[in-house]
Structure 1
Amino acid sequence: MVIPVHDVNPARSTPWVTYALIAANFLVFVLTPGLAGSVAGDASLAQACRLEAFLDQYAAVPQELLHHRMPRLVPTGDVGVGPQGPGCVIGPPDYDKSPELSVLTAMFLHGSWLHLLGNMLFLWIFGNNVEDRMGHLRYLIFYGICGYASAYGFALTDSTSTTPLIGASGAIAGVLGAYLLLYPKARVWVLVPFLIFLPLRLPAWIVLGLWFVLQAFYSAGQGVSAAGTVAYVAHVVGFAAGMLLAWPLKPGTPPPPEPRGPLFGRQARRAP
């Protein structure tokens, strides 16, 4: 798997929406109750219970999305002692939850720093050009539609699941799909792990095409030991939605600038 670090495709305008989305994701992550301790590895049972209750309330749950009803018992955030020892208490929900709105809130929730930073890296690299091509408002709407499409697409494949679905990866997959359609020849600097990290400059169609193929492969439960821990189907659906929504813009999209210099290693400097 390659790690993208930069694309050779300057935007004509400042990507304010992309910046705002990244900032909002970081802010929500920092303010998520019970998450700081779990990230540091020293979470108490009380913190874990608060986090479980928070995610159950604000994350998207496939069963709730399709059947539009709340479960009778949910985590309350409290700690209790049962026959098997201390654990998180469950009880009747003391809040009203909109399954449709939970898709939106879930798009700003992440379970770890690695989860957050990985998503934001892809959004930072590829979001600016898609926003530049669509315009700020249309890009924001596009981002939301891709997020909703990915969540409901995943729910349709696992309609009985009660596991909370969190993360911006479905919406960001839509951004990647749009970028691949609009700028397939744009060069992307990537790091390839081979004993050491080798820098390469590859066309976007290779970088993002490989990413999509891996997500589709994993979504079938192949090549991973626990495919259920990541919603790969949501990535596939979001990517496809992004390509479809960006299709009308393709004819009028200017090609990316042709990069100069070597395709491998550092940029060569010319002698004065």
Structure 2
Amino acid sequence: MFVPLYDGVPLRFTRLGFVTYGLIATCVLLQLALWRWPGQQGEIAIMAGFGLIPSVLFGQAQLPEGLVHAPAMLTLFSNVLIHASFAHLVGNMLFLWVFGDNVEDAMGHGRFVAFFFLCGLGGSLAHAAVYPQSDQPLIGASGAISGVIAAYLMLYPRVRVWGLAFKWIPVHIPALYTLSGWILFQAASAWFDPQGSVGWWAHLGGLATGAALTPLFIRRELRLFGRGPARG
């Protein structure tokens, strides 16, 4: 398990990754509102109404009458913005804080917004395809952030990232090793823990979507895999 803390990569094209920070602020504010919702049953209702439930998405089940909810198709996106717990929120937001601003810088603000939610969509669809009859809501930005991780790895594989291995061992090693190890952990978990409480297939779907979209979304003057800028 790897927890990123700092990468030190300066922004080249923008002064501030305000979309990244805006997404973090949105997730935090929504979570605070969720926690202030009266009673645990209220929290569960919000997760059910705005999380992605595959059986509802595919028309095999229906939500209870009177439950405030988003249209089933919209939950492919709305689930990205809500989280199950404080640890879930902090873990996702830390990855987005460390890696998101550099990916936003490489793509531009508008394209990064689209990239983030398309990766979330890819993760949502992957989860729904693997568990089409599931009645459990999928929530969390992990699929979208997995796409951001894929983009960062493709853009900055040689950058040395500060972080904690196994939650407490300080490390300072290239992103190629830290993030590749993280990706392998997701794949192994999806294989060995298929019925677990974590949406591993959402992570893998977001990763695949991010890897596919990154070459299309980055600025034309950039090159992938640390090969340096293009010559004019």
TM range (shorter): 0.7 to 0.9
Q: Which amino acid aligns with 1:215?
A: Q
Return the match for 1:229 from 180, 189, 197. 197
Return the match for 2:93 from 116, 120, 131. 120
For residue 69 of structure 1, report the CA deviation from its aligned partner.
6.4
Counterpart of 1:60 in structure 2 is 52
* CA distance in 2 between partners of 1:158 and 1:186 (Å): 36
Q: In the alignment, is the contact (CA less than 8 A) between 2:46 and 2:68 conserved in 1?
A: no
Aligned length: 223
Q: Which amino acid aligns with 1:126?
A: F
- TM-score scaled to structure 1, two decimals? 0.75
**Which whole-Å deviations, capped at 9, do the CAs of 1:41-71 have from their partners, x for residues lacking one?**
xxxxx71221222211111111122x24651
Structure 1 unpaired stretches of 5+:
38-45, 75-91, 258-272
Q: In the alignment, is the contact (CA less than 8 A) between 2:2 and 2:165 conserved in 1?
A: yes
Q: In the alignment, is the contact (CA less than 8 A) between 2:143 and 2:207 conserved in 1?
A: yes
* CA distance in 1 between partners of 2:80 and 2:25 (Å): 13
Q: In the alignment, is the contact (CA less than 8 A) between 1:17 and 1:136 conserved in 2?
A: yes
* CA distance in 1 between partners of 2:102 and 2:163 (Å): 17
Counterpart of 2:181 in structure 1 is 210
**Which whole-Å deviations, capped at 9, do the CAs of 1:128-168 have from their partners, x for residues lacking one?**
11000000000000001000110011000000001011001
Q: Which amino acid aligns with 1:16?
A: F
Name whichever of 112-121 and 177-186 sits farther off: 177-186
Counterpart of 2:222 in structure 1 is 253
Structure 2 unpaired stretches of 5+:
none
* CA distance in 1 between partners of 2:2 and 2:196 (Å): 22
* CA distance in 2 between partners of 1:192 and 1:104 (Å): 31
Q: Which amino acid aligns with 1:140?
A: V
Q: Which amino acid aligns with 1:23?
A: A
> Using CA pairs below 8 Å that are at least 6 residues apart, which structure has the higher relative contact order?
2
Counterpart of 1:151 in structure 2 is 124
Q: Which amino acid aligns with 1:109?
A: I
- TM-score scaled to structure 2, two decimals? 0.88
* CA distance in 1 between partners of 2:121 and 2:174 (Å): 29
CA pair 69-227 structure 1, distance change in 2 beyond 3 A: closer
* CA distance in 1 between partners of 2:131 and 2:162 (Å): 36
Percentage of matched positions with identical amino acids: 35
Whether 2:170 is the aligned partner of 1:199: answer yes
Name whichever of 14-23 and 226-235 sits farther off: 226-235
**Which whole-Å deviations, capped at 9, do the CAs of 1:70-121 have from their partners, x for residues lacking one?**
51x52xxxxxxxxxxxxxxxxx345564111112221111111100000000
Q: Which amino acid aligns with 1:30?
A: L
Counterpart of 1:169 in structure 2 is 142
3-state SS in 2 of match to 1:166? coil
Counterpart of 1:219 in structure 2 is 190
**Which whole-Å deviations, capped at 9, do the CAs of 1:215-253 have from their partners, x for residues lacking one?**
00001124xxx8520001100110111111012449842
- The residue correspondences of 1:106-145 to structure 2 (distance < 5 A) are 106-145=79-118
3-state SS in 1 of match to 2:81? coil
Q: Which amino acid aligns with 2:184?
A: V
